[in-house]
Structure 1
Amino acid sequence: MKADAVRGHLDGLLLAVLETGPLHGYAIITAVMNRSGGALELRTGTIYPALKRLERLGLLTSSWESIGERRRRCYRLTDEGRRSLAGERAEWRQFTAAIGAVLNPGSNA
């Protein structure tokens, strides 16, 4: 799948994988890849700036957690983040319905 495929949808992807609970960066990348059946492979250089931006917007919070001698930042969805995710999902349904109507004009997409 083209790398540009996630452009415009990255926030929704990140919020969706955090909906089930807190995750650190690599676990977020893995969750997106697993949920997409390997079709979406995000890079750390892509997600960390997005996570920081979502945190500045109040959609996520983060904290440092220690696993043995390793420390990693874990991200959690806020209530505002849950509301934003609901909006992302509604927009996605509208978008896919519109694209489906154009690409498959004879079907009830």
Structure 2
Amino acid sequence: MSINSKSPDLLSPGYWNSTIRMSLSKFFILCVLCDRDLHGYDIAKEVINRTKGCCAPKEGTIYPVLKQFTEGGYVTYETETVSGRERKIYTVTDKGREAFKVGLGEWMKITQALNDCVSMAEA
């Protein structure tokens, strides 16, 4: 039997890491914006700091997510000019804060399920 080269390598930590990070990026972007208004680069730095490097969204991830959040009314932005360059400063809305709370509740359920799995794996 041949192995399909497109099949994910479930034995690879990299596979699991990238799968988990994709989902966590949106959550942590909202998380850091709940603390204070930030522009895209600082959002990325703050997510990295907050997660101790476990989640490190790149520009290709952050800006599409911020666009999605803006279109959904979860964040707003104001444009400012710094050293001749325009940048957007993002602010979470009340709807975004509520979305963060909902997301947190769902991640806590997952965390409990993961803890249960650890118990089973150790048995």
Q: Which runs of 5+ in 2 are unaligned?
A: 1-13
Whether contact under 8 Å (1:61, 1:75) holds in the other structure is yes
- For 1:80 and 1:39, the matched residues in 2 are separated by 27
Whether contact under 8 Å (1:11, 1:54) holds in the other structure is no
Give CA-to-partner distance per residue, 1:41-90, whole Å, 9 cap, x none. 21100110011001111100011012232221111100000000000111
- Scaled by the length of structure 1, the TM-score of the pair is 0.88
- For 1:102 and 1:38, the matched residues in 2 are separated by 24
- The code of the aligned residue for 2:107 comes to W
Q: Which runs of 5+ in 1 are unaligned?
A: none
- Report the structure number with the largest CA radius of gyration: 2
- The code of the aligned residue for 2:97 comes to R
The 4+ residue runs of structure 1 with deviation greater than 6 A are none
Which residue, out of 83, 91, 97, partners 2:98?
Answer: 83
- The code of the aligned residue for 1:86 comes to K
Identity %: 31
Which residue, out of 69, 79, 97, partners 2:112?
Answer: 97
More helix by share: 2
1:9 maps to what in 2? 24
The offset of 1:106, in angstroms, is 8.5
RMSD: 1.7
- Scaled by the length of structure 2, the TM-score of the pair is 0.79
